[in-house]
Amino acid sequence: MKSISVALKAHYAGNVLTLASIWRITLISGTVKNFTDHDKDITYDGETYLATGGYSASNIQSTSAMNVDNLEVNGFLLAPHISRDELLAGRWNHAKVEIMRVNYKDLSMLHENLGTGRLGEVKIGRNKFTAELRLLMQPLQRNIGSLTSPVCRYDLGDSRCTKVLTDYTVLAAEVTSLIDGRTFITDLPSSTVRLTPSTTGAPTDDYFQGGPLTWVTGNSTELKREVELYDSATGMVTLAVGMYDAIQVGDTFNIVAGCNKLLKTGSAAYNGDCKIKFGNVVNFGGEPELSGEKSLNIGGQ
């Protein structure tokens, strides 16, 4: 049951309502942006919610039957509040959204929580965007459990893999020249990383393939991309998806080794990255020797 103040509940029962919704959005960078559908800014609980006048929200559908809450936000691209460039660059991806309703005539009545979730798919038109908001009931649509597979189901370095990646990470690597929007030359050949559990050296070909690259400085600061290819001779990095904002010489980034998620790449030996590169066989999250069906449900996580 939703909790609201006695005063706000009494206001709901009145004949004249002075209500407005306020939105608190926390981007992946930690930046907080506040909006309201009221025609004037609202200052509530020490924060100012800007009246954009350019967006509208569909009804929130929430029932006692545990159905999934649904909400779409339609709005115009009103810089600097919400810009096309920010959306395309991915700065709003998976942003946390808190939606509340207040009496703008008497904020001492506090607020009603309408929903909390994260932004999902964002569709961008010429002068308008539509954002899907996935509220807390959304995970109920997901299947619970895992499928058997010869490939590891874990993410490298997560709580199930447990591998500490400090020695497999290069901090503040630098772009030294550009090729295109997703390919560039770096100073990575001069770096030292852990190649195997017992050896170190310069990163080898495709050492970073499948690993994450996070921008530290430049137009795309704090954004992350997966590495598609790495060439050790030139230090060339190719991203799986290019950056929306231009990469520039001198931009710096952190980059982590990739894992092919295999324990073995042939029938004769255990020679996948989990064994050779990371020495983490005890925590391998796959079943490379399982005979028969390769897609059996093995229960929840």
Please write the tens of the pLDDT for every residue from 15-45. 999 999 998 989 888 889 898 889 999 999 9
CATH number of the CATH domain containing 230:
2.40.10
Question: Is residue 192 domain-shared with residue 97, that is, in the same domain?
Answer: no
pLDDT at 46: 95
Question: Is residue 103 domain-shared with residue 197, that is, in the same domain?
Answer: no
pLDDT at 145: 62
Q: How far apart are CA 291 and CA 182, in angstroms?
A: 40
pLDDT at 47: 96
Tokens of 199: 């050896």
Residue type, 176: T
Q: Phi and psi of 8, rounded to 5°?
A: -70, -35
pLDDT at 64: 52
CA 18 vs. chain centroid, Å, equals 36
Question: Is residue 213 domain-shared with residue 127, that is, in the same domain?
Answer: no
Q: Phi and psi of 139, rounded to 5°?
A: -60, -15
β-bridge pairing 252-256 and 169-178: antiparallel
The contacts of residue 180 (CB under 8 Å, 6+ apart) are 242
Question: Is residue 43 domain-shared with residue 102, that is, in the same domain?
Answer: yes
Name beta bridge partners: 199.
Answer: 196
pTM above 0.85, yes or no: no
pLDDT at 301: 42
pLDDT at 264: 83
Q: Which domain holds residue 128?
A: 6-141
Residue where the block lists tokens 């066989």: 281
pLDDT at 62: 54
- Residue 156 maps to a domain: no
Question: Is residue 136 domain-shared with residue 170, that is, in the same domain?
Answer: no
β-bridge pairing 169-178 and 199-201: unpaired
Question: Is residue 123 domain-shared with residue 233, that is, in the same domain?
Answer: no
Q: How far apart are CA 4 and CA 102, in angstroms?
A: 10
- Residue 285 maps to a domain: no
Stretches where the chain sits below pLDDT 70 are 1-2, 53-80, 136-146, 267-268, 291-301
- Residue 158 maps to a domain: no
- Residue 247 maps to a domain: yes
Question: Is residue 107 domain-shared with residue 171, that is, in the same domain?
Answer: no
DSSP state of 84: H
Question: Is residue 30 domain-shared with residue 84, that is, in the same domain?
Answer: yes
- Residue 184 maps to a domain: yes
Question: Is residue 113 domain-shared with residue 207, that is, in the same domain?
Answer: no
Closest to 255 in 3D by CA, of 228, 286, 291, 292 = 228
Q: Total domain count for the chain?
A: 2
